[in-house]
Amino acid sequence: MKWYVVRAISGKEKKAKEYLDLEVSKYKMDNVIAQVVVPTERVIQIRNGKKTIKEKNILPGYMLVQTSLEGESQYVIKSIPNIIGFVDVDKNGNPTPIKESDVNRMLGKADEAVDMDEQLLIDYKVGENIKVVDGPFNNFEGVIEEVNEEKKKLSVMIKIFGRKTPVELNYMQVEKQ
């Protein structure tokens, strides 16, 4: 079995995967179509001081399908709603598989995102101005003095009563200005 890239309507990849999985189980094609993957990663967004975790597509509009393309499998895949077709086809119209190393890289990136316990995609740097959005120093502004990536903490200089005071805050308590 080899991996192929299938083009889907952007935003409908998960629905197309559900339909394809349903067809595979309905027609007992488990031996022909092994896996259907929509590569996603978990992303943490901070809005109005609240943390939300969302699934984000790594490849919007594309899915990975591991299949041997025997019998009707190619036509079953193409006939699924929200699927446009295979991405790379040769002169005869046959789909071209992608390299195993490329698949491992894409799936590895998705697995890392799942394995990492809620990694923040915010990159703080020394000298940046921030605003505190949570905790006892809410609405105070300051400058980052030190960044501790492992603990996800920042050492920030905040002006309190006209005097600069160092305060340790976590990533969730601040936002960039």
Confidence class for position 118, pLDDT limits 50, 70, 90: very low
Residue 123 counted as domain residue: no
**Do 73 and 153 sit in the same domain of this protein?**
no
**Tens of pLDDT along 93-116?**
889 999 988 888 877 754 554 444
Structural domain of 146: 129-176
SS3 content of the chain, % helix, strand, coil (to 5): 25, 40, 35
pLDDT of residue 117: 44
pLDDT of residue 98: 92
Does 25 or 172 have the greater pLDDT score? Answer: 25
pLDDT of residue 48: 67
For 34-42, what is the mean pLDDT? 87
User: CA 75, 80, 84, 86 torsion: positive or negative?
Assistant: negative
What's 138's domain CATH number?
A: 2.30.30.30
**Do 23 and 88 sit in the same domain of this protein?**
yes
CA–CA distance, 57 with 173 (Å, rounded to integer): 27
Confidence class for position 70, pLDDT limits 50, 70, 90: confident
**Do 82 and 143 sit in the same domain of this protein?**
no
**Tens of pLDDT along 76-92?**
999 999 999 999 888 88
For 11-32, what is the mean pLDDT? 92
For 143-162, what is the mean pLDDT? 89
pLDDT of residue 109: 57
Confidence class for position 136, pLDDT limits 50, 70, 90: confident
Q: pTM, whole model, 2 decimals?
A: 0.60
Domain ends where: 115, 140, 160?
115
Residue 39 counted as domain residue: yes
pLDDT of residue 138: 87
**Do 88 and 138 sit in the same domain of this protein?**
no
pLDDT of residue 58: 84
Q: Which long-range contacts (CB under 8 A, 24 or more apart) does 167-170 make?
A: 167/137, 167/142, 169/132, 169/135, 169/137
Tokens of 125: 């740097």
